[in-house]
Amino acid sequence: MRYNVFTIKAHKFTMGFVHILFEGEVKSMEINLNTGRPVKNKNILRNILTNLIPKDFIPLYTLLSIFVKNVLLIGLIFDQTHQLPLMREAFNAVFQLYRFRPVYYMAFSLACICVIFLFKNRGRFLVSIIVNFLVSFLLLVDLWYLRGFNTLPTLHMLKAGGNLGDSINSFFPLIHLIDLVFVLDIPFLLIAFFAKKNLYRNVSRNVVFSVFILFVSVFGVLYIAPQVNNRAAKPLPITSIFNRFNPVTTIRSLSPLGYNIYSSYNFFTEKSTLSLSGADRDRISAWYEQKNEKLPDNEYKGMFKGKNLLLIQVESLENFVVNQKVNGQEITPTLNKLLKNSLYFSGIHEQVGGGNSSDSHLMVNASVYPIQLGTTFINNAFTEYNSLPKLLKGIGYYTSTFHPVDGAFWNWKPALTSMGYDRCYDSTSYNITEKINMGISDRLFFEQIEPMIIKQSQPFFTFMVTLSSHSPFELPEQYKELNLEGELGRSRLGGYLQCIRYTDKHIGLLLDRLDKDGILDNTIVAITGDHEGIHKYFPDEIKSMKNTEDWWLNNDKLLPLILYNKNISPKEISTVGGQVDIMPTLAYLMGVDEDNYINTAMGRNLLKTNKSYAVLRDRTLVGNPDESDEKLALQGMELSDIIIRGDYFKK
């Protein structure tokens, strides 16, 4: 390859510039184009540096760094597993889809750097690094939370901060190598700051410019961006841009930084409780009226009337493991056996939000969607509901709940007490001599609650929760019963399958003991999952495995619902629904008068409906909804927020 003289001299100039930069000789110099070395006592280089690089360059660098990192997070949000930034989609969403979005991205980035100009000299450099780090860490928290909960965090979640202690091990696997891109520049900036003591001198404080930057930022958010949007061919409604009920759309429009500022504004300005107006109550009543299909009763009405109901919420139980084998071994032999005498609902979808298992408690017991910001049990623990325990108490049932963790965890005990349970047992009720993952082992838990269950007055409704199959899916070697070799045996998926097999075994042993106690014949055993497990926390690890099987990759947010009794003929109900539909379905089967819950349950009775759909937490719909179904479902999620915060059901 041949080089011309200009190319060679340009290369030498570049090398000389780099030499000067690292040697710190930024005095009057010029570059000898023949040798590529600096020549002292000349003014040429000073002029070049002055023209090419402003003396106060660090605020500009910080601004661009924050802007780029915001776009990068959008790219990670587009990826289903949030592991690989889809930059083409992010670029299209930010710069091409709606032209007002770059204004928001830049305006909120400017808001971060205005504080930098309040400092002078090296203080400005140091504060710039701190601002860069704080914003980067905030974006990483957004990313980690998104991976763990499939939703975006808010300051409301600080109220639940104390609940993370027992589950902190579940968060470490959410951190991935790609996350380093958010902080990769900061060590280099720190090295430059501490190694070059003469770097960034003679820079004065500029309070006026700081105020001006803040003004430009606010002006861009409140005026320029809306004007750009309004002049577009198809402007986006302002309710879609600033939408507390749709964080994914909001974060794409406002930028991740803007979303955090907006959600923080909501945190400080809105109250956790509302005073409902007459118009609010009319809207809610009209929604229920539109939801009700008014279909005739069928053979399922009161099918289980008078029987005990034992509802078991299994930690992280997904539908894809039911009736499935790995290396020729059944993963859930107990559940598979129960299906032979069960109504099996195979179309139930996860709908939990930031409250995870506690949100499942809410929907299964009360048939309302969780609040959109924060967690329902933390923010609104004492809200009253027309719940399943209240409905069953109304027809003579004794109600109880057995939970393996402390009653303050996610505020589940105060919340379930408010729902009307006669007795709530927490971890203080057991002798905890063995722990697996987050708390007492399922083996020990089941052994200790069995005598408590049989002593209850009948008919009873008992709601119980398991724990051993919780992330990070680590089971002691002596309890592993599946023969999983090689990569699968070492993987998180293998750990998940072992934990599910362990819990499945001990559910079987519990039912055997209840059978010997003579109460199983007159008991309906309902088994469901609280949320996804391996596909919720480690979907990328499954995809990266070498010898994957199709059923491993089935990430469809499906949870099983199995209603077992010895005298039931097996039947699969494939109607698409969600966790919010479980309560009215159970109430119908247990013989509760439909008039007592038809205008309070937001879910549908899956045994008496012509509809087959569910709305997920991210506001997408699955199944076969028509346009009116979609509108009704999305309105329901918003109204549920008002119902809970306004204590709509309180008499």
pLDDT tens figures, 117-140:
999 999 999 999 999 999 999 999
Is 512 marked within a binding site?
A: no
Distances (CA, A) of 383 to 146, 158, 407, 414: 27, 20, 17, 10
Instruction: Give pLDDT, residue 593.
Output: 97
Same domain, 579 and 433: yes
Q: Which of 6-15, 515-524, 582-591 has the lowest mean pLDDT?
A: 6-15
Average pLDDT of every residue of the chain = 87
Is residue 431 one of the residues assigned to a domain? Answer: yes
Same domain, 219 and 165: yes
* Whole-angstrom distance, CA of residue 73 vs CA of residue 331: 37
Residue 202 pLDDT class (50, 70, 90 cuts): confident
Same domain, 488 and 628: yes
Residue where one domain finishes, among candidates 269, 289, 320: 269
Q: Which of 48-52, 95-99, 441-445 has the lowest mean pLDDT?
A: 48-52
Is residue 441 part of the annotated active site? The answer reads no
Sequential DSSP letters for 270-329? S-SS----HHHHHHHHHHHHHH---PPP-TTTTTTTTSEEEEEEETT--GGGTT-EETTE
Same domain, 551 and 516: yes
Residue where one domain finishes, among candidates 251, 269, 287: 269
Same domain, 546 and 615: yes
Bridge partners, 399 (sequence order): 461
CATH at residue 473: 3.40.720.10
Is residue 453 one of the residues assigned to a domain? Answer: yes
The count of domains in the chain is: 3
Same domain, 31 and 93: no
Q: What is the DSSP letter of 173?
A: G
The boundaries of the domain holding residue 31 are 5-52
Above 90 in pLDDT, residue 96? Answer: no
Marked catalytic residue, from 357, 387, 468, 469: 357
Is 530 marked within a binding site?
A: yes
Is residue 290 one of the residues assigned to a domain? Answer: no
Is residue 293 one of the residues assigned to a domain? Answer: no
Same domain, 195 and 318: no
Per-residue model confidence as pLDDT tens digits over 34-68: 555 555 544 554 554 444 445 678 999 999 999 99
Instruction: Give pLDDT, residue 243.
Output: 75
Q: Tell me the pTM.
A: 0.79
* Inter-residue contact 104 to 89 (CB < 8 Å): no
